[in-house]
Amino acid sequence: MVGDDLLNANKVTVSFLIDGEWQTGIYDVDLDIAHGEVLALVGESGSGKSTFATSVIGLHNPNQTKVTGSITLDGKELIDLPDEEQNKIRGEKIGMVFQDPLAALNPLMKIGQQIQEALDIHDVYQKDQYYDRVIELLNDVGIVNPQRTANQYPHELSGGMRQRVIIALAIANDPDLIIADEPTTALDTTIQAQILDVLLEIRDRKDTGILLITHDLGVVAEVADSVAVMYAGQIVEKAPVQELFENPLHPYTRSLLRSNPKAEQADDELYVIPGTVPALSEMDHHKDLFLQRVPWMQDQADEDISDDLVEAKPQHFVRGNAWKTFEFQDEKG
Amino acid sequence: MWKVIIRRLLIMIPQLFILSVMVFMLAKMMPGDPFGGLIGPNTDPKQIEALREAAGLNDPWWQQYINWIQNAFHGDFGMSYTMKQPVTTLIGSRMVNTFWLSLLAMILTYLLAIPMAISAARREGSWWDRVLLIYNSVTFGIPAYVVYLLFIFIFGFTLGWFPTGGTVSPSATGFFPVLMSKIYHMILPAVTMALLGTTAIFTYLRSGILDEQGQDYVKTARAKGVTENRVFSRHILRNALLPIAANFGFVITGLLGGAIFAETIFGYPGLGQLFITAITSRDYSVITALILFNGLLALFGAMLSDIIMAIVDPRIRIE
């Protein structure tokens, strides 16, 4: 199912101009997505997941943001593309699904018009095909009465319906890559599963690559082929999904998995990672930043480590050295 | 859509009733009655009483209200005591003047305010944005009559570019010269009113644009590959114009209300000037009619605004 490389991100670093100073939001990120692959990018709020997605689609404000490194889509470099070419990539090669389905649709435009606009900008479909294509798209994302929905305004639809419409928008021109930024966070659990099914179905049919940004490990286990874990703007671990869940290495990944509630441990107290992600100005990306939040590993927290990830097992990459010795305090014996 | 309009019209019935009762009560609370001023000190009080009886002033108040409202429905608001003309005739001739002056002022105001707001919002924080913000605070804060007087002094007296009063030059004859003369007389007051009147539209639109720019649906449009210009015109601007469109109902009915300061100072015989004249000479029948008329305009303006809102914003439409 997983084919050739589609997206290659190499040493992507994004800095923001904050109060006259450049501060690094994400640092040295390497990620690859193949045709037909679902890569989940996980991490807590503020870890830089969305910043990475925004750089791929080139939507940062160029006056306040600096992106270095290389992001290629099918071999074509995306960083620093002129606006005109950038607009051709957006919506045609890369489709984007946003988190909040109500806010992401223009309240004054009918659903059909909004999808049609996506078709109108690009030359993939001809004008006389627009209406049929709109209906086909709404059908594809599982909307029961597409003719009716095309003629409705966003406020007339439920949250789940709106998210289906957003997906229809994202896939309007059959993109090679879909970036889904927390696509199910605002939805209830049953609708979540339906929306994920819609995404997977599109992947199966069109061999689309999907970058799925989420903090929900349940979603990851359900749909991802591989997982990259991000902390404080860096990838700390990446592996095929089964390997990562069975064999987490980095202390952050292990803490994340441990803090996910499980039904069989319903009576135990839930594990909570103390502290929060450090502020941008306090990030020293040459250290293993997560160790600041592990009181019993302070001796390693100040140690400089390599920017590169180590292949600890085949296909399983991890950053730093802490994974070799890390144990939870109650397990130490 | 029709349901919205019909519902909105029905709401106006109680509003109109309350408005008319309030105006009537205000008129009744005013001291004296018409016969106090018309009749000399030597007139027999019995004669005055007879006149009062004949005019219905001794009837119970509800009977008087019904008489008054019946006459008002037929367009009869009585006579102006100082100008010895029917109030309706007086208002009618002034309304035409007021309408054209306000219309010109309104068009100029929109032509100034909308480009100002767009250019300021697109370069938020730039020196140009700051200049426009300061300009709009100053014109909002400064007393209008000071500027009116200053402009009459500079452009009317000193430079002599524009006439300093009236609606038409007495020497103009024939359709076209009269028309040109009327426009010529309107230019200075209209331009001055427009220069001072941009603040509300400017502020609404500028902050509206800034608000909409940050919305998620704008990000969606960009992610679709929509060009920056099209994102602005089709998404940001259209949404930011909603409050301006809603306000338009009040603005166009306000055209008939008259500009009290501008008309008085520029010596322009419109409803605003009539209102001030009527108040200073205690011409009660004119005052009452004008207050009722302005109240009506406000009600219609609100209704029109609601209907415009329902047309431009699908979220408002009630099924």
Q: What is the pLDDT of residue B34?
A: 58
Nearest-Cα distance to chain A for B313, in Å, is 6
Both A263 and A230 in one domain: the answer is yes
Both A35 and A165 in one domain: the answer is no
| B-chain residues near A122 (CB < 8 A) | 225
Report whether B209 contacts B119 (CB < 8 A): no
Both A121 and A200 in one domain: the answer is no
Quick check: is A101 in a domain?
no
Domain residues for the domain of A126 are 107-173
| B-chain residues near A92 (CB < 8 A) | 225
* Domain boundaries for CATH 1.10.3720.10 within chain B: 87-312
Both A152 and A202 in one domain: the answer is no
Both A168 and A181 in one domain: the answer is no
Q: Note the pLDDT tens digit of each residue in A77-123.
A: 888 888 888 888 998 899 999 888 888 999 999 999 999 999 998 88
Pairing state between β A65-73 and A5-18 = antiparallel
Quick check: is A100 in a domain?
no
Q: Which neighbouring-strand residues pair with A318? A: A237, A310
For residue A121, give the chain B residue with the closest CA.
B226
Q: What is the pLDDT of residue A257?
A: 87
**Does CATH number 1.10.730.10 belong to domain B87-312?**
no
Long-range contacts at B126-135 (CB < 8 A, ≥ 24 apart): B132/B202
Contact B314 A153 (CB under 8 A): yes
**Sheet containing A76-77: order of strands:** A21-34, A5-18, A65-73, A76-77
Q: What is the CA radius of gyration of chain A?
A: 21
| A-chain residues near B239 (CB < 8 A) | 106-108
Both A167 and A207 in one domain: the answer is no
Give per-residue burial for B86-113: e unless 16+ CB within 10 Å, then b. bbbebbeebbebbebbbebbbebbbebb
Both A217 and A86 in one domain: the answer is yes
For residue B315, give the chain A residue with the closest CA.
A155
Q: Note the pLDDT tens digit of each residue in A260-305.
A: 777 777 677 778 888 888 888 888 888 888 888 888 778 777 888 8
Rounded CA-CA distance A230/A251 in Å is 12
Q: Note the pLDDT tens digit of each residue in A127-181.
A: 888 999 999 999 888 889 999 999 999 999 988 899 889 999 998 888 999 999 9
Rounded CA-CA distance B89/B48 in Å is 28
Both A130 and A202 in one domain: the answer is no
Quick check: is A46 in a domain?
yes
Nearest-Cα distance to chain B for A269, in Å, is 38
The amino acid that residue A100 corresponds to is D
Mutate to test the interface with A, among B124, B218, B219, B220 (most CBs of A within 10 A): B220
Both A137 and A269 in one domain: the answer is no
Closest CA to A10 of A224, A211, A308, A227: A308
Listed in order, strand segments (DSSP E) in A118-208 are 177-181
Quick check: is A330 in a domain?
no
Closest CA to B149 of B117, B189, B122: B189
Contact A107 B221 (CB under 8 A): no
Quick check: is A102 in a domain?
no
For residue B237, give the chain A residue with the closest CA.
A108
| C-alpha B281, offset from chain centre | 23
Both A311 and A249 in one domain: the answer is yes
Quick check: is A311 in a domain?
yes
Nearest-Cα distance to chain A for B218, in Å, is 8
- Structural domain tally of chain A? 2
Quick check: is A98 in a domain?
no
Where residue A319 sits, what CATH number does that domain have? 3.40.50.300
Rounded CA-CA distance B33/B154 in Å is 45
Report whether B88 contacts B286 (CB < 8 A): no
Q: What is the pLDDT of residue A229?
A: 93
Mutate to test the interface with B, among A17, A98, A117 (most CBs of B within 10 A): A117
Quick check: is A112 in a domain?
yes
Closest CA to A106 of B254, B46, B315: B315
Rounded CA-CA distance A166/A172 in Å is 10
Backbone angles phi, psi at B171, to 5 degrees: -80, -10
